[in-house]
Amino acid sequence: MRNAIAFLAMFWPALLLGAPPTSPATPARKVKVGVTSILTGDLGVLGQNVVNTVETYRRHFLRHNIEFTVEDARLGSADGLKAFQKLISIEKVDLILDACSSNCTMAAKALIDSSHTPTISIVTGGDNIDHAGPWVFRIGNSDTLNGLEQADYFIKQGLAKVALLTEETEYTQDIAKVFRPRFTAQGGTLTYDQNFLPGSTDF
């Protein structure tokens, strides 16, 4: 949370550099910042951390004319797209801080790019985020790093036989696609390797 606040404190002044010059008699133009986060379901506690960080910044560090609007992007692509549509088309935000899943961001990439809305992913994201378009940026690490580090960890712990179950979502597939070659190249064996659909309960 401390790192996120430091990032916010450094970034907002740069946002205002493109605003028209102001005088004491002319208040600075309000910058509208949208925040997409996961506020529903099991990961809601993580999404709430993002909201708490923004609120802490607003209360204690905000020195510019900035307004924040938070939208629950949930986890699915359809819900994520709705959150981006509301922020861009209805709220008319100038910038989006993106703390939702890669699926949500990818569902909205065409809208983000066509509207020229700078969107900064502040959490981990899939490899697809790197290629989402000229208006999508990321400061969180890639999910692929997770796969590489998991493979190295298992080998170092002497766990050379692993069963791999991968959910059919962007970020889990990104992890698996780098885990497999890294793990097997170091002598590991995948005794089972299957995908499953989100929401599956029968294993």
Res. 14 pLDDT band, cuts 50 70 90: very low
User: Greater confidence, 127 or 5?
Assistant: 127
Are 121 and 140 a contacting pair, CB within 8 Å? Answer: yes
Statement to judge: residues 12 and 62 lie in one domain: yes
pLDDT for residue 203: 79
pLDDT for residue 182: 98
Number of domains composing the chain? 2
Residue range(s) defining the domain that contains residue 155? 144-196
Q: Over the chain, what is the mean pLDDT?
A: 87
Its sign, for the CA torsion 124, 34, 119, 2, is negative
Return the bridge partners of 121, or none.
Answer: 98, 138
Statement to judge: residues 91 and 9 lie in one domain: yes
Res. 23 pLDDT band, cuts 50 70 90: low
Task: Give this prediction's pTM.
Answer: 0.72
Statement to judge: residues 55 and 66 lie in one domain: yes
DSSP letter (8 states) at residue 17: G
Statement to judge: residues 12 and 48 lie in one domain: yes
Statement to judge: residues 158 and 134 lie in one domain: no
Statement to judge: residues 35 and 73 lie in one domain: yes
One-letter amino acid of 122: I
CATH code for the domain in which residue 104 is found: 3.40.50.2300
Mean pLDDT over 46-66 rounds to 94
Look at 11-15, 97-101, 182-186 and tell me which has the smallest mean pLDDT: 11-15
Name the percent of the chain lying above pLDDT 70: 87
DSSP β-ladder status, 66-72 and 189-196: unpaired
DSSP letter (8 states) at residue 90: I
Statement to judge: residues 135 and 148 lie in one domain: no
Last residue of a domain, one of 126, 141, 156: 141
Q: Among 2, 119, 94, which residue's Cα sits nearest to residue 52?
A: 2
pLDDT for residue 12: 47
Res. 130 pLDDT band, cuts 50 70 90: confident
Alpha carbon distance 120, 98 (integer Å)? 6
Statement to judge: residues 160 and 191 lie in one domain: yes
Last residue of a domain, one of 111, 141, 171: 141
Statement to judge: residues 84 and 30 lie in one domain: yes
Statement to judge: residues 122 and 164 lie in one domain: no
Highest mean pLDDT among 35-44, 108-117, 191-200: 108-117
